[in-house]
Structure 1
Amino acid sequence: MKEAGGDGGFVRADQIDLKSLDEQLERHLSRAWTMEKRKEEAAADQRGSKPPALAAAHYSQNRRQRRSDWEIDPSKLVVRGVIARGTFGTVHRGVYDGHDVAVKLLDWGEDGHRSEQDIAALRAAFSQEVSVWHKLDHPNVTKFIGAIMGARDLDIQTESGHLAMPSNICCVVVEYLAGGSLKGFLIKNRRKKLAFKVVVQIALDLARGLSYLHSKKIVHRDVKTENMLLDKTRTVKIADFGVARLEASNPSDMTGETGTLGYMAPEVLNGSPYNRKCDVYSFGICLWEIYCCDMPYPDLSFSEVTSAVVRQNLRPEMPRCCPSSLANVMKRCWDANPDKRPEMAEVVSMLEAIDTSKGGGMIPVDQRQGCLSCFRQYRGP
């Protein structure tokens, strides 16, 4: 499967969940890993002074040195209860070096259905993506603390003793955010809605985080409220880098459906080449969701949404009560033409210019007096 590209060469972002590792990346990294290993073995054979065991140890040592800048000390990690379960593992509460953390334990070989080559490719992809994530530093991006690649006889301390870690397990440690997902927060406020000032602040947090990623040539590719977390102060942080990637210099190198239906841009749904502007489109859908505290396309199936977004220019219904300043941001972001969508840096500027002093938030359900006039059918830009 090919992947997305943009101006000046961009990166696949990786989620804590790592649930959708790109197939092409798996194949590419598998080949690269195999070639590198063969080079090491050939070099050892030519030297003739290192037996195979020593050559393998030398190779492993080199790998450890290459990832030493993000690998953490397992003796400082305490794993606690499970807080979520994903495709490849579980997310736990934990403590690392005295700080509250979220710990993702990933096991790609537990079911016995993956070959050694498959597992090696997944680990290589894991290694590349955490090596990108650990360099990110922004208040609206979840802080990556470190990771542990699977190793034999690895014990992780828990409150009830020690947890023996199979050699095929990898561990990701990130800051723990007590506020839960943005989606959960919006669901809790579905009836009473959010004050307009809060809507704009949340949108700004998300926009600034995405603008930062794009400045680092990273395309997230799965922007949705479920992938954003809140801290204790209600600051939004991007937390999912499972399918993110560096933006390719050639747009035709990024194709194929990647993301979540309902948030995916028409060009992604259509299998056309795409770039970072697919994140801008998804942001526009998220902005509508933040304002309305509701789900877009509630009465349509996934297949209906896909067809209507691409062929009929379907977009979420725009509330009449939505201030034009915010509605304009949504419309520009979800334009069918990626070239007409603004860069995320421009979105930040547009949001910063919005006046929230006079209100303008979504009308709560119990204040509509049975009237649905707050909504009108909106079918396109």
Structure 2
Amino acid sequence: MSACRPTNDIAGQQSDIRIAARPTSILLPLPTMSLPIVPALSAAFTVFSFIVSSIQAQEASRDQLNVLSTSTEQLLTTLNKEFSELRLVPAKCVKPLADLESLLRDIHRFAEKETDSGFLKMLFQRDARVFKIEAFQRRIGMCINAFEISSLLNIQTMLAESKKARARDAEVLHNYLNTLEQNNTKLLQKLEINHNNTVAMMVSIQKQLNHHNVDRAEQTFYTHTLEYLTSRSGQNVKIEDWMISSFEVDYGHEIGKGGFGTVYQGTWNRTEVAIKVLQNHAGIAPSLPSLRNEIDIWSTLRHPNILQFLGANTLDDKPFIVMPYIPHNAREFLRLRPSFDPLHILRDISLGLEYLHSRKICHGDLKAINVLVENSGKALLCDFGLARLKADAATRTFVHMGVPQIVGSRNWMAPEILTGSRYRVTSDVYAFGMTLYELYTDETPLFTIPYAELVDLVVHRGVRPERPDPGEGRAMQDELWELAQQCWVEDPHKRPTATQLYDTVTHMIPPLLQPGILPMDAEQVESRSIWAPNAELDAALVTGDYLDSLTPELDCNLDSEGFRRLAKQQRNIMISNHTLLGAGHWDTLSAMLDLASTYFRLGIYKDAEELQIKAVEECNKTLGAKHEHTLTAKYNLAATHRKFGRPMEALALISEVVQCRRRVLGDADLHTLRAEYSLALTYYRLGQYQEAEALCQF
């Protein structure tokens, strides 16, 4: 009996009779609704009417969108009849109804967004659009299952009809492209070319041609269009690896705004990203030479605590940079996770600074808002180098508006910067001290000082933040407060280096208590001899130290029943992500790794191993063999192989992990050390005691 249905037998008998009499195909046209809309579906039908209006305005994938509209109408009409005839009860369908409304809102947002897309972007994003439409069809199927009306509606028929519509849409598109090739006047009108977007358009088309996944009709169209634009403009384009044009990104909602640009959540290459548009409050963008100079620097940076630079747009009058989307900065993260120790964030900041400073790069705008923190607890520096671009734009703002200004975040600025000196690594260290204060107090440093008086008080009177009283903010040990004071001394040469910051902060972190890693008794681990086989220690390597893939939100004190409930939730998430996003999407892989960890805790080792093997295969294919998530998957699979008595297979995997982590993270990083310990344990299982001993010099 359905959870959404009444429990009396008569209603059940009536339901069975009517179900048997109903056709299961959606191919028949829907009759005009003979029943009034039930209140429970009123909002859903309203959103559906908006969807229909939006779809009617579409040019791309019109047939497939119409099939999606028909599927949605079939679902709503069927549900309305079931509720009207009391075979479904709204009070028992709260969750399915909420999911239905969420689906309809998502479809409406998608349809509205597609309406605003230009022709070329529509063409570039055809595969992504088709993927989303098919994902919506699968979500309709999930709603059908949730309401338990699969005997009334056939989701497989819906999917098959969508596939046929996709083929029809492709044929229509190819015919239209051929028409445009024959008429350059129509082509120009359709592309909406102007002097600002011609180069961006040419670069985007060339990038499409460089990809090998375009069909013959599109390739012919792109080739013709590029040749025509090149001839018409008299320009040839040079494509850099980092180039991303405005035709390749989709803007979502605004997620941040500062003195030098606005940040949007968006999509690029079917990946959720952050897009930072580089313009100051006066609408002035940095000059192209200065922006290209910073891009040359950003594109060479590779470090676990530096936010990856994905690409940038310099092809039109709206320059932007593209970065991975991480929802929370350091202050937001600590508000959400009050039990999280800020020392871990400070350690990661110091590592990022050490890397930048080793390459003669100043961050220039270090503060908590420019430190992003992943769910795993790892912190990443962002917006480094933007201070120079801000200064460049500000100079030209002064020329245009006659308004001089100090560029940057005054409250974090070292005295020498406030008086006009160049940014140096020592000014980053000063900002580190202010950021330390910020993380422990959740306050902007020196926020009580009026803006006009800040320079005088900081530079000439040596005013610095006061130590918080007990109970104000997070508890701060004396050694940490002394470090903050050392950072903001007036003489830049007396401030510690980034390496000294790392050493001091790391010394204050309890051994082995790292974010995302289950605590173990540090003394017990250090004194325990590797030469005495110990099942508990081996299990700890597999599950207790499940490295990056476990997030700090996981309640490590769950009992077995709690872990079983968790496994069920994780499995549902994995299946849902696989259905909607695909096997290679990182959300699917992450859910797979989480479930494997939980299976291991429950002793379901075979299922854990199967998931780990699948995760390694997909990570290798999707992310690459040396990506940190791939290495995490290999680390855990190696431990599983070792547990099942397959040390040679474990050796091949863990050796690769050790090699990559040494190169990227360094020999002293905890993740490298743990991988080396796992390698040593593998050598021990193989009887290669000298190799194991060489790795375990505790």
Superposition map of 1:1-381 within 5 A: 57=234, 60-61=236-237, 64-65=238-239, 68-72=240-244, 77-86=249-258, 90-106=262-278, 122-150=287-315, 167-178=316-327, 180-186=328-334, 188=335, 194-195=338-339, 198-241=341-384, 243-244=386-387, 257-272=406-421, 275-319=424-468, 322-356=476-510
Three-state SS of the structure 1 residue aligned to 2:341 is: helix
TM-score normalised according to structure 2 size: 0.34
Deviations, residues 346-373 of structure 1 (Å, cap 9, x unaligned): 110111111548x9xxxxxxxxxxxxxx
Three-state SS of the structure 2 residue aligned to 1:259 is: coil
Three-state SS of the structure 1 residue aligned to 2:319 is: strand
Deviations, residues 32-80 of structure 1 (Å, cap 9, x unaligned): xxxxxxxxxxxxxxxxxxxxx98x956x53xx25xx1311476654433
TM-score normalised according to structure 1 size: 0.60
Worse overlay, 75-84 or 290-299: 75-84
CA distance in 2, matches of 1:90, 1:272: 27
- Residues 101 and 175 of structure 1 are in contact (CA less than 8 Å); yes or no, is this contact kept in structure 2? yes
Change over 3 Å in CA distance of 1:314–1:85 after alignment to 2: closer
Deviations, residues 122-148 of structure 1 (Å, cap 9, x unaligned): 122222212211211112111111123
Amino acid at match of 1:296: P
- Residues 78 and 95 of structure 1 are in contact (CA less than 8 Å); yes or no, is this contact kept in structure 2? yes
Three-state SS of the structure 2 residue aligned to 1:140 is: coil
Three-state SS of the structure 2 residue aligned to 1:319 is: coil
- Residues 194 and 291 of structure 1 are in contact (CA less than 8 Å); yes or no, is this contact kept in structure 2? no
Change over 3 Å in CA distance of 1:337–1:105 after alignment to 2: closer
CA distance in 1, matches of 2:423, 2:486: 17
CA distance in 2, matches of 1:290, 1:85: 21
Amino acid at match of 1:334: W
Deviations, residues 1-37 of structure 1 (Å, cap 9, x unaligned): xxxxxxxxxxxxxxxxxxxxxxxxxxxxxxxxxxxxx
Three-state SS of the structure 2 residue aligned to 1:79 is: strand
Q: Percent identity?
A: 31
Three-state SS of the structure 2 residue aligned to 1:332 is: helix
Change over 3 Å in CA distance of 1:259–1:74 after alignment to 2: closer
> Structure 1 unaligned runs (5+)?
1-52, 151-166, 247-255, 360-381
Change over 3 Å in CA distance of 1:89–1:275 after alignment to 2: closer
- Residues 262 and 302 of structure 1 are in contact (CA less than 8 Å); yes or no, is this contact kept in structure 2? no
CA distance in 2, matches of 1:324, 1:99: 44
Three-state SS of the structure 1 residue aligned to 2:254 is: strand
Q: Taking CA–CA contacts closer than 8 Å with sequence separation of 6 or more, which of the two structures ends up with the larger relative contact order?
A: 1
Worse overlay, 169-178 or 330-339: 169-178
- Residues 287 and 330 of structure 1 are in contact (CA less than 8 Å); yes or no, is this contact kept in structure 2? yes
Structure index of larger Rg: 2
CA distance in 1, matches of 2:388, 2:477: 35
Change over 3 Å in CA distance of 1:89–1:274 after alignment to 2: closer
Amino acid at match of 1:262: N
Amino acid at match of 1:353: H
Structure richer in strand, relative to its length: 1
> Structure 2 unaligned runs (5+)?
1-229, 390-404, 471-475, 514-698
Aligned to 1:28: none
Deviations, residues 234-283 of structure 1 (Å, cap 9, x unaligned): 3221121353459xxxxxxxxx9553111111111122455210000010
Amino acid at match of 1:295: T
Change over 3 Å in CA distance of 1:234–1:170 after alignment to 2: same
- Residues 372 and 381 of structure 2 are in contact (CA less than 8 Å); yes or no, is this contact kept in structure 1? yes
Q: Please report how far the alpha carbon of residue 85 of structure 1 lies from its aligned counterpart in structure 2 after TM superposition.
A: 4.0
Change over 3 Å in CA distance of 1:265–1:107 after alignment to 2: closer
Deviations, residues 173-212 of structure 1 (Å, cap 9, x unaligned): 110102x2223345x37xxx955x7121011111111111
CA distance in 2, matches of 1:209, 1:292: 22
Three-state SS of the structure 2 residue aligned to 1:262 is: helix
CA distance in 2, matches of 1:257, 1:232: 35
CA distance in 2, matches of 1:273, 1:89: 22
Three-state SS of the structure 2 residue aligned to 1:135 is: coil
Change over 3 Å in CA distance of 1:325–1:93 after alignment to 2: same
Change over 3 Å in CA distance of 1:242–1:95 after alignment to 2: same
CA distance in 2, matches of 1:324, 1:105: 41
Change over 3 Å in CA distance of 1:71–1:333 after alignment to 2: same
Aligned to 2:96: none
Q: Please report how far the alpha carbon of residue 301 of structure 1 lies from its aligned counterpart in structure 2 after TM superposition.
A: 0.8
Amino acid at match of 2:253: G
- Residues 350 and 501 of structure 2 are in contact (CA less than 8 Å); yes or no, is this contact kept in structure 1? yes
CA distance in 1, matches of 2:360, 2:388: 8
Change over 3 Å in CA distance of 1:212–1:94 after alignment to 2: same
- Residues 364 and 386 of structure 2 are in contact (CA less than 8 Å); yes or no, is this contact kept in structure 1? yes
Amino acid at match of 1:342: P
Three-state SS of the structure 2 residue aligned to 1:353 is: helix
- Residues 411 and 447 of structure 2 are in contact (CA less than 8 Å); yes or no, is this contact kept in structure 1? no
- Residues 144 and 173 of structure 1 are in contact (CA less than 8 Å); yes or no, is this contact kept in structure 2? yes
Structure richer in helix, relative to its length: 2
Q: Please report how far the alpha carbon of residue 107 of structure 1 lies from its aligned counterpart in structure 2 after TM superposition.
A: 6.4
- Residues 221 and 258 of structure 1 are in contact (CA less than 8 Å); yes or no, is this contact kept in structure 2? no
CA RMSD across the alignment:
3.4
Aligned to 2:566: none
Three-state SS of the structure 2 residue aligned to 1:352 is: helix
CA distance in 2, matches of 1:107, 1:260: 16
Q: Please report how far the alpha carbon of residue 83 of structure 1 lies from its aligned counterpart in structure 2 after TM superposition.
A: 2.5
Change over 3 Å in CA distance of 1:334–1:169 after alignment to 2: same
Three-state SS of the structure 1 residue aligned to 2:443 is: coil
Q: How many residues align?
A: 263
